[in-house]
Structure 1
Amino acid sequence: MRPRSRHLTSGEAVAAGARAGFVARGVIYVLIGVLAVRIATADSGGQQQADRGGALAEIAHKPLGGVLLWLLGTGLAGMALWRLSQAAFGQGGPDGDKPGKRATSAARCVFYGFVSYSVLAYAAGDKGSGSGSTDRQTNDVTAKALDWPGGQWIVAVAGVGVGCAGLWIAGRAVLRKFRKHLKTAEMSRWQRRAVDAVGVFGGTARGVVLATAGGFAVAAAVEHTPGKSKGMDDTLRSFVDTPAGPWLLVLVAAGLIAFGAFSWANARWRRL
């Protein structure tokens, strides 16, 4: 009984970490959406940074912001641990042990581990860690890659991959594929409708932003111009330059806020 008890305890700890991670992810996406709305509607929007760094800076300036940053970083570490357990032991469901799913979980573990580290480093005083502009980072990485042999092809393939990932995310959101991961039987009718709404809207907006960023990366490769590649902040700002103007950015920003709310719904009803 003792080994089984330890297994159950460790499983419960990983699940708690995953739920904390969904909460943290939701906070970050909601803040990014709010910052994007400010950019679209205020003349001072140029001073805002609508990406993870901008969200962390926004939190840091609030009362008890330092404490909240530590909680966010810890929550994201819990998400990384959950993804690591999926990579090592497989996911739930009949096809959870497939190599492809394990590899995806491993990649997500690395991503959330990096994000958690950057948030915790920022909370510890390294202000250049978590708050760095994603636009500058993206331009630096693109410039280095373009200088490699075959660099244009590498950047182009990466851009196509990011773009396809964005379309895949948006498509799955529209088709409501997220339902199979949620305990819908535990929801009331209005809760299911609300989760469907934020899941579709939020997932589509997230996918559109990612696909647009991928398109900019391909443009950077074709024109051999690192500046054409854009991080989240510049990608969001690019929507203002469309015929729809700032209102398209407001719509996309509202979608990112909805994705944050959907992350919170996952914290409550996700099957782990």
Structure 2
Amino acid sequence: MAVSSHTRGYSARRMARSDSVRALGRAGFVARGVVYLLIGWITLLIALQHKALEADRTGALELIASKPLGSVLLWFLVVGFGGMALWRLSEAAFPTASGGSGKKAAGSRAASLFRVVVYTLACISTLTFVLTHKSNGSTNQASQDFTARTMAHPGGVVLVALVGIALIVGGLALVWRGVTRKFAKDLMLGSMSAGKRRWVLRLGTIGNVARGVVFAAVGGFMLDAAVTFDPKQAKGVDATLRSFAAASYGPLLLILMAVGLAAFGLYSWGEARWRRL
């Protein structure tokens, strides 16, 4: 007897929303939290003028690898990032009702697909690091290489400028998401005690604002590279954070950024426990 397309669709949706996929998604939030906590720690070391690794995912992986049982944690990150990519893919394929409808739903799917790419690349780069003990380079070098290669093609300057603008807009959106606490709609607030709810919301606010500031600053440097026709002006997360040190009250600003990025790491762990998946 032939199976109807409706039945096949229901089975695919049920598989995409299975407990195992949700568990992998939660592991992904834990993995993201680990990385942001370490980036926050490295940023604090930079602010205190200690010798520090790069304040990005590469630096976080190198810091983990230098510790006892670091390889175990690195393998967990591989699984976590891969799980996050799989969960985001299920979210793009079968969005929940909270994703809205029409243009809003299309935008939500596009955002999920973008995150699929981000976490797939994070999984691959982490796996490569585990297997070869060599990183694919810092975000600084990756940003400059991307900018140089893109600007070498016709229309490349415009594309680099658009990417920079997109990062600025995305960063400002994260700041707005943090300030207005729009992230709370994805959380099971009713499952938390009053104290836990208060702290998770605080961490989400501080963390999203800090993350948004970094993204917007990275976009600003990329836009500057397009305007000045100089790929070396593009900066990754590490160089962007270090550039804050040159500003007035630079060390204090870096300490605040370190606290904010660590707060986002802790908030990610809160999402692992209480996010609706």
| CA distance in 2: counterparts of 1:227 and 1:9, whole angstroms | 43
* 1:121 to 2:164 alignment: no
- The equivalent residue for 2:167 is 162
CA contact (8 A) 1:152 1:224 kept: yes
- The equivalent residue for 1:192 is 197
Deviation at 1:141, TM superposition (A): 0.8
Deviation at 1:120, TM superposition (A): 1.3
Of stretches 221-230 and 143-152 in structure 1, the one that deviates more from structure 2 is 143-152
- Secondary structure at 1:140 match in 2: helix
Q: How does 1:91-240 map to 2 (within 5 A)?
A: 91-93=96-98, 95=100, 98-129=105-136, 132-240=137-245
Which of residues 9, 26, 31 in structure 1 aligns to 2:38?
31
- The equivalent residue for 1:78 is 83
CA contact (8 A) 1:37 1:250 kept: yes
CA contact (8 A) 2:41 2:262 kept: yes
| CA distance in 2: counterparts of 1:31 and 1:120, whole angstroms | 18
Which ranges of 4 or more aligned residues in structure 1 deviate by more than 6 Å? none
CA contact (8 A) 1:74 1:120 kept: no
- The equivalent residue for 1:17 is 24
Q: Aligned-pair RMSD on alpha carbons?
A: 1.7
TM-score normalized with structure 1 length? 0.93
| CA distance in 2: counterparts of 1:253 and 1:94, whole angstroms | 32
Which of residues 265, 268, 271 in structure 1 aligns to 2:273?
268
Deviation at 1:150, TM superposition (A): 1.9
- Secondary structure at 2:135 match in 1: helix
Q: Kindly provide the amino acid, as one letter, of the partner of residue 111 in structure 1.
A: V
**What are the ranges of 5 or more consecutive residues in structure 1 without an aligned counterpart?**
none
| CA distance in 2: counterparts of 1:264 and 1:30, whole angstroms | 10
| CA distance in 2: counterparts of 1:243 and 1:42, whole angstroms | 16
Q: Kindly provide the amino acid, as one letter, of the partner of residue 270 in structure 1.
A: R
The alignment-based identity, stated in percent, is 47
Q: Kindly provide the amino acid, as one letter, of the partner of residue 103 in structure 1.
A: A
TM-score normalized with structure 2 length? 0.92
| CA distance in 1: counterparts of 2:156 and 2:143, whole angstroms | 15
| CA distance in 2: counterparts of 1:255 and 1:101, whole angstroms | 26
**What are the ranges of 5 or more consecutive residues in structure 2 without an aligned counterpart?**
1-9
Counterparts in 2 of 1:179 and 1:17: CA distance versus 1, 3 Å: same
Give the number of aligned pairs: 265
CA contact (8 A) 1:181 1:271 kept: yes
Deviation at 1:128, TM superposition (A): 3.0
- Secondary structure at 1:211 match in 2: helix
- The equivalent residue for 1:61 is 66
Of stretches 150-159 and 206-215 in structure 1, the one that deviates more from structure 2 is 150-159
CA contact (8 A) 1:142 1:226 kept: yes
| CA distance in 1: counterparts of 2:187 and 2:34, whole angstroms | 20
Residues 97-141 of structure 1: per-residue CA shift (max 9 Å, x gap): 722211111111111011011111111125133xx2110111111
Deviation at 1:7, TM superposition (A): 3.7
Deviation at 1:151, TM superposition (A): 1.9
| CA distance in 2: counterparts of 1:26 and 1:57, whole angstroms | 16
